[in-house]
Structure 1
Amino acid sequence: MSPADDFTLPADDDLSPADDDILPGDIYVTDYKAGEEYLRNHNSIENILKQLENIKDSWKSIPFNIAVTGQSGSGKSSLINALRGLKEEDVGAAQVGEKETSSKYCSYPHPNHGRFIFWDLPGVGTDKFPQKTYMESIHASRYDFFLIVSSGRFHSQDIWLANEVLKQKHKSRCYFVRSKVDIDMKNRKRRHALEKDTMTDADLFLNFRVEMTSDILKTLHNPNINIHLFLVSSHFPSKYDFEDLQLQLLEDALNIKRLLITFGMTSLTKRLMEHKRNALRLRQREIALLSCKSENTNVEVVFPCSIMHIQSEIKFYKEQLSLDTEGLDYAASSVGLKSSDLRKKVEMKSVPTMSIDSLIKSLNELYRSTYANQSYLTKQWRYYIRYDMIALKTIETFLQGQLDQAMRDTENLIDFITNMKESSVV
C-alpha cells in the first residue's frame, strides 16, 4: 500500500469547517459526515476527490418550491420578480398587471437555478379555485413555503389558507407579506405632516406593523399564535422588510436546502451578502483539493494545479456578490448609471476578469512566499503523500483574498447605491 492510499488529513487541519464557520444547520455538516463515511469505505485520494466533486454542487439538484398566493392586484408577480432579481421587462419575468394574470398557477424558475421555483397561484375563492378544493387544486404538498400576499388588509380567505397550510403533515411554513408598503408609507407621512405630527418614519412604520399584526390576530381568533408578517415593497428591495423576508426563508429552510436559498437569493443587501460570503468560504478547501489533484494541470504553475477550478470559483464569487456583468448592470440601472461609470464611482478594486497569466503569476508568488515560511517537516511531508499541503494552503489563501476583495467591493457598492437612492428622495 502506497502512502497516498493510506492518506488521512492531519487532525489540526480537518476537512470539517470550524464551529464558527457554520451557518445554523448548514448543509456542509451533513455532507462532510457523509464524506467521512465514504472515506472510511473508499480510502484513497481519487475517491475523496470524486466525493468532493459531488458535494460541491449537490445543492443545485435539490428541488425547492415557494408558493406565492393572493388576490388579483396584490403584487404577487412583482414580488416573484424581485425575489428572482428580475425587472418587469426582463426575459422570463412574471407578467405584472392589475387584472388577474394568474387564472391558473404558473411556475417561474430562478434564472440561474432551475430547481428553485416560485409558483404564482390564484387567491382562494376564485371561480376556478374555490375554497373547498383549493388545497388539492394547487397540489399543496409540493411547496416548501407559502407566501400569502396582500396589498391591503388580510381577509378571512387568507387566514383560512394559513390555517390549512399549518395543518399539513409535511409542515410547510407560511408567511404573510404585505406588499406595496412604499405607497402606504408615503400616504401615512403625508397625513401626519398635515396633522403636524412629529412621529419619525421609524415610528410610523412600527405603528403600521402593529396595526397589520393586530388585524391578522383578530381574524385568526388566536391572539397568542406566532405569525410571520413582512411589510415589503418589491420596487425597493433594500428597504422595509424585504431583506428580513429573505433571511427568514433562509433560516427556516430545511438544512439540506439552505445553500440553494443562500446562492439563489439576489437582493443587494449586506446581511444577505454576509451569508453568501460564509457559504463561499466553506467551499475553499474543496476547490483547493480538486485543483491540486486534477489531471488538467497547468505546467506554468510551480506546483501541480488546475487553473480551471480556481477561475471558475472566482467567477462564482462575482456572480454571487453581484459583481459580474449582469449584477452590475442591474445595480447601475437602479440608480440611472452605466455599469462602467458605476464601477469607477465605487472605485472597485477587484478585476472584472483575471487573465490566466495574471492568475498564474499571483499563485506562483504566493506559493513561494508560503513555502519559505513553512517548517522543514512540512516541506518534506509533500514528498511522502503525493499531496502538497503547501499548495493547498496557497490556493485557499489566494481564494480567500479574492473573496475578501470582492466582498469589500460589494459592501462599497451597497453603500453607494443606498446613498444615491436616499439623496434622490424628495
Structure 2
Amino acid sequence: MDALKKEYQDWMDSSDVWHETDENKFEGSTADNIDDKIKVLEGVLKDKGIEGVKQELSSDLDKWKNTDLHIAVTGSSGAGKSAFINAIRDVCADDEGGAEVGVTETTMELTPYKHPKNPNFIVWDMPGVGTPKYPKDKYLTCVKFDRYDFFMILSKSRFTEEDLWLAKQIQERKKRFYFVRTNIDIDIYNDSRAHPKSHSAQDVMGKVRQDCHTNLDAADIEAPLVFLIDNHDKLKYEFGQLELQLLQDSDSLKMEAIALSLSVLTSEVLQKKKDVLEKRIAEKAMEIACVWDDVDRQKQLFEDEILTYKEQFNIDDKTLSANKDVLSLTDANLKEFKKFFKDLSKDTVSQLSKKSASLSGRSGSFIRILRQSLLGYQLIIFQLGEGFRSHSQPVLQFSCFALHQNLGEMYKMALKVYDLNAQKSFVKSIYKP
C-alpha cells in the first residue's frame, strides 16, 4: 500500500510527465482532475463505503448530461438561422422539434430548441435587434443576455449595423461569439457559372472572407472569428472548424457536453469525441471493478459503454441502416460492419488479461494518463480489503484495455464511414445542377 502511494505521488510530482505537449495541451489539468477525483472517492469510501463509491462514479460519468449549455443564434432575415439551428442539432425542419425554415422572417419571439440527444443543450433563435418588442436599449435585458455561453451571428452577405452593435456588446462583456457567413455554396456556384474558365472555389472563399473582415474591422471588432458554411452540407467548408472552435473555447465540463451531444460527424468532431471518451475509460473501468461480485452486471456495464461508443460515432446498426443511402453504404458494407461489431464484442473483459501486459511498453499522453489513473484507482481498491482487491484489481486493468481497444477500433471505423460520406459530398458538389 505504501509503495503504491509512493508510485502514485511520483507520477503526480513528475515534471516531465505533465508538461504541455502538442498531443494534449491540457494534459497537466487532466492530471489535476484525476488527483481530485481520487481524493473525492477516498472521502466517499470513508463516509459511505463501496456503495457510495459506485454511486459517485456513476454520477460523475453522467455529469455531462446535466450540464446546461445555451447557444444564441442571431442574424438578419434570410440569414439562415433556422437552417443553422437544425444543422447543429442534426435535425431537419420536418423532424419533431425542427425549426421552421421559410423564405420570410419566422422569428418574432425568443425561441429555444433543445438538442434531441441532450435536453440541457439548448440553441436559441434570437429576435432581431431594434424591433418594437426588443428595442436596442433594452435588448440585452429582454433576451436575458447572461444566460448564453456562446453567440452565433449569421449573415448571408455583409453583417448589418445591428449585427455589429450586438457583437460589440458581447465583446465588452467578455462572452464568446462567432461570425458565421452562410450560403457560401451559392456564392461558389454563382461564380462557377459567371467565370467557367477562371473559377476557383478557394479564391471565392478568400474574397468572401476578406470582405467579412473588412466589414468587421471597420466596426472595430477585435480579432473576429469568421466561418464560411453551408447549412445543408456540414461536411464541406467550415462547419467542422466552427464546431471545433466551440469545443476549444469551452471549459472541460461544457466541452464534454458539446462533444458527446454533437451528431455532425466531421473529422474534427470525431477526434474530440474520441478524446472525451478516452478520458472516461479509467473511471468506467473502476465502476465495472466495483461490482466484483456480480459478473452479469460487470458485463452489462462494459457492453453499455461499448454501445455508447457506437452511438457517439454514429456507427451503431440502427444509424448505419437508416443512413446507408446518405453514407453510400451497400448491403455488403452493412454486413461487414455487423461482423466487425460482433468480433469486437468477443473481446470480453476476462479475455483481455494477456493483452493488458502491453501497457508498460507503450507511450503517449493518453497511456501516461491511463497509467496514472490506474494507480489512483488501485489506491481505492487497496483500502477495500484483500477479498475485494483480489477480484477487482485485475478487472480494473482488463476493463481499461478492453475499452481502450474497442474505442480505438470504432474510431477507425467511424473515420472510414466519414470518408465515404465526405467523398459523396464532394461528388454531389461537382455535379450540382
Normalised TM-score (structure 1): 0.82
How far 1:237 moved relative to its partner?
0.5
Q: Does 1:181 find its partner at 2:184?
A: yes
Q: Secondary structure at the match of 1:114?
A: strand
Partner of 2:203: 203
Is contact 2:92–2:99 with CA below 8 Å preserved after alignment?
no
The 1:372–1:174 alpha-carbon spacing in structure 2 relative to 1, beyond 3 Å, is closer
The 1:110–1:9 alpha-carbon spacing in structure 2 relative to 1, beyond 3 Å, is farther
Task: Give the distance between the partners of 1:178 and 1:66, measured in 2 at CA.
Answer: 17
Kindly provide the CA deviation profile for residues 63-106 of structure 1, in whole angstroms up to 9, marking residues without a partner as x.
11000011222111110111111123222211111222221011
Task: Give the distance between the partners of 1:306 and 1:214, measured in 2 at CA.
Answer: 59
Is contact 1:7–1:43 with CA below 8 Å preserved after alignment?
no
Partner of 1:216: 216
AA aligned to 1:180 is N
Partner of 1:390: 394
Partner of 1:334: 326
Q: In the alignment, which of 288, 292, 304 is matched to residue 289 of structure 2?
A: 292
AA aligned to 1:78 is A
Task: Give the distance between the partners of 1:87 and 1:134, measured in 2 at CA.
Answer: 29
Partner of 1:302: none
The 1:285–1:316 alpha-carbon spacing in structure 2 relative to 1, beyond 3 Å, is same
Partner of 1:312: 304
Q: In the alignment, which of 324, 328, 342 is matched to residue 316 of structure 2?
A: 324
Partner of 1:404: 408
Summarize the alignment of residues 263-282 of structure 1 with structure 2, pairs less than 5 Å apart: 263-282=260-279
Relative contact order higher in (CA < 8 Å, ≥ 6 apart): 2
AA aligned to 2:349 is L
Is contact 1:15–1:285 with CA below 8 Å preserved after alignment?
no
Task: Give the distance between the partners of 2:300 and 2:82, measured in 1 at CA.
Answer: 39
Is contact 1:350–1:409 with CA below 8 Å preserved after alignment?
no
AA aligned to 2:261 is G
Normalised TM-score (structure 2): 0.81
How far 1:53 moved relative to its partner?
2.2
Partner of 1:228: 225
Q: Secondary structure at the match of 1:54?
A: helix
Task: Give the distance between the partners of 2:391 and 2:6, measured in 1 at CA.
Answer: 10
Q: Percent identity?
A: 27
AA aligned to 1:288 is A
AA aligned to 2:422 is T
- Cα RMSD after superposing both structures: 3.4
Is contact 1:72–1:122 with CA below 8 Å preserved after alignment?
no
Partner of 1:366: 352
How far 1:206 moved relative to its partner?
1.4
Number of matched pairs: 398
Task: Give the distance between the partners of 1:373 and 1:227, measured in 2 at CA.
Answer: 44
How far 1:34 moved relative to its partner?
3.3
Task: Give the distance between the partners of 1:85 and 1:361, measured in 2 at CA.
Answer: 33
Kindly provide the CA deviation profile for residues 143-193 of structure 1, in whole angstroms up to 9, marking residues without a partner as x.
01110111121111110011111222xx32111111111111111222222
Unaligned runs of 5+ in 1: 300-304, 375-380
Partner of 1:36: 38
AA aligned to 1:343 is L
The 1:127–1:338 alpha-carbon spacing in structure 2 relative to 1, beyond 3 Å, is farther
Is contact 1:25–1:255 with CA below 8 Å preserved after alignment?
no
Partner of 1:172: 175
Kindly provide the CA deviation profile for residues 2-42 of structure 1, in whole angstroms up to 9, marking residues without a partner as x.
x8xx9969528979997667564898566434323324534
Q: In the alignment, which of 179, 189, 193 is matched to residue 190 of structure 1?
A: 193
